[in-house]
Structure 1
Amino acid sequence: MTVTGRASILGTRGRRLSVGGAAVGRILGQQPIGTALVTPYVVFLAAVFAYPLAFAVYMSFHDYFFAAPGAIVERPFVGFDNYVTVLSDPAVRRSFANVGIFLLINVPLTVVLSLVLAASLNAAIRWRTFIRVSYYVPYVTASVAVVGVWLFLFNSNGLVNSVLGPLAPDPSWLVNSKLAMPTVAIYVTWKQLGFFILLYLAALQNVSKDLYEAAAMDGADKWKSFWNVTVPGVQPATTLVVLVATITGANLFTEPYLLTGGGGPDGASASPVLIMYQRGIEQGNPDIGSAIGVLLVIGVLLLALIERRFVGREDR
């Protein structure tokens, strides 16, 4: 073989390797190692979240019902009939109103309390580490155990009513149609507060101390420093806290299920996820439950976009 022939073959191979490398580069991106490390989590998300969501959308448009494994049954396409059934159900409409009340109480309370407590715990105080752990303990404690304490505190003969005496509500907190959901919202705020405090504590480490010193030199007191330095400095964390609290609150299930015996009294504390469980699992109508779930996802996405637009506008 001549030298020219070998050069031609090597040139052809080089072009093929170049084309192949470009194709791999387009697939893996500029950071192939990072892409390889992220791929298992992407597969996990697709298997655990994307596929169930797609299947839920499919069920919501069909007359779907549970059948024996391996059984071949007809599940005809019904269009929007399941959605019409869901939207005409008073219990479903009330559950969405309930979760709206919950979010109106829980989200602002979570943001304010977690930010104020985080700013306090970020200062040089005695027993700071112990207090931080104390706030975080309810978050990592099993809900069943913590619910038992709250039932002891807020039942008709509980400690709270004993302290309030004649001022105690009648009916009591968790069996009162007007107070059941606010009580659940306060409980969830208290239980999850430690997690959001940690988020704010991490954000406070990025706020320069020079800003506080400059504010002090300008004559700002602690309140003005907090409002003009701390609050703007942790704005990205506030956006995250609002979004996480909203998504978590919209998926409320365990707390009303345990605290109020399944959304009582008379559905006053029922959440969409609880109704979805009752319709889809207990009553054997997964198509109806899926329709509720799809509507909930759409509602949460719209709410998150609105919050991101208004709460997170200072991040940009």
Structure 2
Amino acid sequence: MTVTTRATVPRADPHPTGRHLRPGGRNKTLDRLVGRQPIGIALAAPYVVFLAAVFAYPLGFAVYISFHDYFFAAPGAIVERPFAGFDNYATVLSDPAVRRAFGNVLIFLVINVPLTVVLSLLLANALNAAIRWRTFFRVSYYVPYVTASVAVVGVWLFLFNSNGLVNSVLGPLAPDPSWLVNSSLAMPTVAVYVTWKQLGFFILLYLAALQNVSKDLYEAASMDGAGRWKSFLNVTVPGVRPATTLVVLVATVTGANLFTEPYLLTGGGGPDGASASPVLIMYQRGIEQGNPDIGSAIGVLLVVGVLLLALIERRFVGREED
């Protein structure tokens, strides 16, 4: 019996240069740098330049100012602005008005963010159903968001001043002092106002998210005996979780930058700083009082605080999404 053996010929290396290429001859490292469609880098470049000019450079300059004894000078004047280290931050953290402003914005966020999420999701779910005048209601909720703040503030001042419509309806139950001049109620009133004004924007976000929730899930829940409320909790809420994460983050960032509302509603953060926000204090210290180094230090602390808060929210709100 004769056994025939066949010699094994080593296969040639398809990549003799040692480079690992994707199908079509693409390089993995190049893909990581420019993506699979390099034209996207060119299309995104103008917006990257815009972000660098409008956001990155001002933020970096603010950090620089916060570490120097910085002050305004005449255009073209050459003045010394010595390095101050953490002196500006020590001044900011020892200022009772600044500490109170950060406490005020925390109170604002505790009221505004949950209220925004709950109301916008409930209203979006209602407006997503086949109801009469649906388009009218959608537009009605969005109108306050696009209306100038000065005009809307005038309406709220009429409603919530000492002799306003709300106090007239409440009668003896009306607070004394009134809402916007009450140190305990000023910031909650501002939080409710901001929630109402921005609600239309967040409703639109949830309406867009609801279009991606499969109707088959609702039919399956209905076949299992789930009513509207259980379907809402077990289908709608999990289905719009990515939108909820976005709403929480956007509401937090916009709320932390609160300025116009307390400036207009309470006359600049009154009474006695009860509704002052960090951005309002930053404006007062940096622009009105001519201390841009102190104002920049407040701004840097606010950015760091918002980033930490956003990371915490992203971890807890978006964990099931991951």
Alignment counterpart, residue 62 of structure 2, candidates 44, 56, 70: 56
Alpha carbon RMSD of aligned pairs, Å?
1.4
Residue 205 (structure 1) aligns with: 211
What are the ranges of 5 or more consecutive residues in structure 2 without an aligned counterpart?
A: 1-25
Residue 237 (structure 1) aligns with: 243
In the aligned structure 2, how far is the partner of 1:200 from the partner of 1:25?
34
The two structures have a TM-score, normalised by structure 2, of 0.90
What are the ranges of 5 or more consecutive residues in structure 1 without an aligned counterpart?
A: 1-20
Alignment counterpart, residue 283 of structure 1, candidates 279, 289, 292: 289
Give the C-alpha shift of residue 35 in structure 1.
1.0
1:149 aligns with 2:155: yes
Identity of aligned residues (%): 89
In the aligned structure 1, how far is the partner of 2:41 from the partner of 2:265?
44
Matches within 5 A, 1:63-142: 63-142=69-148
In the aligned structure 2, how far is the partner of 1:119 from the partner of 1:219?
20
Which structure dedicates a bigger proportion of its chain to helix?
A: 1
In the aligned structure 1, how far is the partner of 2:240 from the partner of 2:131?
21
In the aligned structure 2, how far is the partner of 1:216 from the partner of 1:95?
49
In the aligned structure 1, how far is the partner of 2:32 from the partner of 2:166?
63
Q: 2:171 is aligned with what amino acid?
A: G
Q: 1:270 is aligned with what amino acid?
A: A
Give the C-alpha shift of residue 31 in structure 1.
1.4
In the aligned structure 1, how far is the partner of 2:290 from the partner of 2:33?
43
Give the C-alpha shift of residue 32 in structure 1.
2.0
Residue 303 (structure 1) aligns with: 309
Residue 180 (structure 1) aligns with: 186
Give the C-alpha shift of residue 24 in structure 1.
8.8
Number of aligned positions between the proteins: 296
In the aligned structure 1, how far is the partner of 2:305 from the partner of 2:115?
21
In the aligned structure 1, how far is the partner of 2:290 from the partner of 2:108?
28
Residue 246 (structure 1) aligns with: 252
Give the C-alpha shift of residue 25 in structure 1.
7.6
Q: Secondary structure of 1:313's match?
A: coil
In the aligned structure 1, how far is the partner of 2:32 from the partner of 2:159?
60
Give the C-alpha shift of residue 33 in structure 1.
1.7
Distance 1:27 1:207, change over 3 A: closer
The two structures have a TM-score, normalised by structure 1, of 0.92
Q: 1:105 is aligned with what amino acid?
A: I
Alignment counterpart, residue 169 of structure 1, candidates 175, 180, 185: 175
In the aligned structure 1, how far is the partner of 2:263 from the partner of 2:87?
28
In the aligned structure 1, how far is the partner of 2:135 from the partner of 2:62?
45
Distance 1:166 1:240, change over 3 A: same
Large movers: runs of 4+ above 2 Å:
21-30
Give CA deviations for 1:252-287 in whole Å, capped at 9, x if unaligned.
Answer: 000000000000000000000000000000000000
Q: 2:289 is aligned with what amino acid?
A: Q
